[in-house]
């Protein structure tokens, strides 16, 4: 399903959206997804364990297992610490585990959570198709499962899904490029290259699909030209969202297509870890003006690049907001009720549509990052020095 999303919001509107928290727009049903990864591990933001203005409901107590994929990327450290802090504040015990991006380690951690008496599981999976057996154990034990940011596929043990609006993330990136190049009015042609995330992360297809729904008509019309010829998801994917893999691929693209002085006008990068790889490659190999470069997650290194003019924008997904919503869902379930959701149509994991809560992303750039990131105490000025 294709969507039309409003063009890039004004800064004031973005701040209002952020303060409002989670949104309720529906997503395409064709594929299921979960959020992108961020850049290499950096210092945690000053208030990454601090909840947003809206408090989570108080808990009745009980043990909640929280399984995160890795500590190697900044965003998952923030997600885990925010979740742990807010669950504890709500009165729950928390078993928080990171799996070092190793599937079997995550499976073992979840098995231990089940055997140790966790009454509910919140899982950000490494691979959405790899948890069927262990989650069958959770279902047999009557343990509810909330898929966090990445939809767990092909398991009827998944009770709910909580994430950001992943398709909207991609459309906002595509719209940013469209508007920055003035594709509606400019003659072009403009050269663009594309890079997205891990094939095992369902979200990567949502991000890429949302952006390409905006950009593909201009590619078809010849106004945007992908000189590398690499336009399919498979050709543009980056294993594990790894910065090094993104940089290596982009080194080859520049050497083959832009080393002769040909101008590169824009790069669609689905998240900040891949954008960082692109920026590193540009610094080492490209002599022209910096292209428009998108991203996602507002990692510290990438915000610094935005300030320095080496990255144009990044999608901001306030992990405190998502943690607050998940705590509300946990609290409702643990009290014997149904979790609050705002989407019951879009995310089919192969066993049926999973009731979901979608939070709305906004984009940050050099003009509004202070309002979004500093004024909200997500980062301090010192973090970005």
With cut-offs at 50, 70 and 90, classify the pLDDT of residue 128: confident
Which tops the pLDDT comparison, 99 or 8? 99
Return d(Cα 310, Cα 75) in angstroms, integer: 20
Return d(Cα 335, Cα 262) in angstroms, integer: 61
Which tops the pLDDT comparison, 305 or 320? 305
| Residues 6+ away with beta carbon under 8 Å from 336 | none
Going by C-alpha positions, the residue among 355, 376, 358, 374 that lies closest to residue 366 is 374
Q: Read off the pLDDT of each residue in 135-151 and give the average, rounded to a whole number.
A: 96
Q: Is a pLDDT exceeding 50 seen at residue 24?
A: no
What's the pLDDT at 259? 94
| pTM for this entry | 0.77
Sign of CA dihedral 171, 173, 177, 179: positive
Express each pLDDT in 2-13 by its tens digit. 333 333 333 333
Give the pairing type, strands 63-68 and 120-123.
Answer: parallel
Return d(Cα 168, Cα 157) in angstroms, integer: 27
What's the pLDDT at 155? 96
Q: Is a pLDDT exceeding 90 seen at residue 326?
A: yes
With cut-offs at 50, 70 and 90, classify the pLDDT of residue 201: confident
Q: Read off the pLDDT of each residue in 349-378 and give the average, rounded to a whole number.
A: 95
Sign of CA dihedral 23, 375, 35, 87: negative
* Architecture of the CATH domain 11-165+318-361: 3-Layer(aba) Sandwich (3.40)
Q: Is a pLDDT exceeding 70 seen at residue 44?
A: no
With cut-offs at 50, 70 and 90, classify the pLDDT of residue 28: very low
* 62 conformational bin, left if phi > 0, alpha if psi -120 to 50, beta if neither: left
Q: Is a pLDDT exceeding 60 seen at residue 199?
A: yes
Give the pairing type, strands 362-365 and 313-316.
Answer: antiparallel
Express each pLDDT in 255-266 by its tens digit. 999 999 999 999
Q: What are phi and psi of 307, to 5 degrees?
A: -60, -35
- Can you read off the two tokens belonging to residue 272? 């900040």
Q: Classify 125 as helix, strand or coil.
A: coil
Residue ranges covered by each domain of the chain? 11-165+318-361, 166-316
Q: Is a pLDDT exceeding 70 seen at residue 125?
A: yes
Express each pLDDT in 266-301 by its tens digit. 999 999 999 999 999 999 999 999 999 999 999 999
What's the pLDDT at 32? 38
Return d(Cα 343, Cα 351) in angstroms, integer: 17
Q: Is a pLDDT exceeding 60 seen at residue 52?
A: no
DSSP per-residue letters across 83-110: HHHHHHHTT-EEEEEE-TT-HHHHHHHH
Q: Read off the pLDDT of each residue in 306-330 and give the average, rounded to a whole number.
A: 94
**Residue 282 half-sphere exposure, CB side, CA atoms within 13 Å?**
22
Instruction: List the alpha helices (DSSP H) in the chain.
Output: 11-20, 74-89, 103-115, 132-140, 166-180, 202-220, 233-236, 243-257, 272-285, 300-307, 319-334, 369
Q: How far is CA 348 from CA 32, 101, 153, 223, in A?
A: 6, 24, 8, 35
Q: Is a pLDDT exceeding 70 seen at residue 166?
A: yes
Express each pLDDT in 171-190 by its tens digit. 999 999 999 999 999 999 99
Q: Read off the pLDDT of each residue in 100-109 and give the average, rounded to a whole number.
A: 95
Asked, colleague to colleague, whether 11-165+318-361 and 166-316 share their fold, the answer is yes
Return d(Cα 244, Cα 250) in angstroms, integer: 10
What's the pLDDT at 3? 38
Q: Read off the pLDDT of each residue in 138-164 and give the average, rounded to a whole number.
A: 96
Q: Is a pLDDT exceeding 50 seen at residue 233?
A: yes
- Mean residue pLDDT across the chain: 87
Match domain 166-316 to its CATH number in 3.40.50.2300, 3.40.50.20, 3.80.30.20, 3.40.50.10800.
3.40.50.2300
């Amino acid at each position: 399903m294709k969507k039309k999303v409003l063009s890039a919001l004004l800064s004031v509107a973005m701040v209002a959206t952020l303060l409002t928290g989670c949104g309720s727009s529906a997503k395409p049903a064709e594929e299921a997804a979960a959020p992108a990864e961020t850049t290499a591990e950096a210092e945690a933001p000053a208030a990454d364990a601090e909840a947003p203005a809206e408090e989570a409901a108080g808990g009745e107590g009980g043990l909640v297992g929280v399984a995160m994929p890795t500590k190697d990327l900044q965003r998952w450290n923030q997600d885990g610490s925010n979740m742990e802090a807010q669950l504890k504040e709500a009165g729950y015990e928390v078993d928080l585990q990171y799996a070092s991006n190793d599937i079997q380690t995550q499976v073992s951690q979840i098995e231990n959570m089940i055997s140790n008496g966790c009454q509910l599981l919140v899982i950000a999976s490494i691979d959405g198709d790899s948890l069927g057996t262990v989650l069958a154990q959770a279902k047999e034990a009557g343990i509810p499962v909330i898929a966090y940011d990445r939809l767990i596929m092909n398991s009827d043990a998944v009770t709910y899904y909580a994430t950001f609006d992943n398709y909207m993330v991609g459309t906002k990136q595509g719209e940013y490029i469209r508007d920055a190049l003035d594709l509606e009015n400019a003659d072009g042609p403009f050269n663009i290259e594309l890079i997205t995330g891990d094939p095992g992360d369902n979200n990567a297809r949502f991000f890429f699909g949302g952006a390409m729904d905006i950009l593909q008509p201009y590619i078809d019309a010849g106004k945007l030209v992908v000189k590398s010829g690499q336009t399919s998801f498979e050709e543009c994917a980056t294993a594990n969202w790894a910065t090094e893999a993104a940089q290596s691929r982009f080194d080859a693209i520049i050497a083959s297509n832009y080393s002769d002085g040909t101008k590169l006008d824009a790069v669609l990068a689905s998240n900040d870890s891949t954008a960082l790889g692109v920026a590193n490659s540009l610094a080492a190999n490209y002599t022209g003006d910096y292209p428009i470069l998108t991203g996602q997650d507002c990692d510290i290194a990438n915000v610094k690049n935005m300030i320095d003019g080496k990255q144009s924008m990044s999608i901001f997904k306030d992990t405190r907001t998502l943690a607050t919503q998940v705590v509300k869902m946990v609290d409702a379930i643990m009290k014997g009720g149904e979790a609050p959701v705002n989407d019951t149509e879009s995310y089919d994991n192969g066993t049926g549509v999973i009731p979901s809560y979608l939070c709305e992303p906004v984009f940050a750039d050099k003009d509004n990052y202070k309002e979004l990131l500093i004024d909200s105490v997500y980062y301090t000025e010192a973090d970005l020095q």
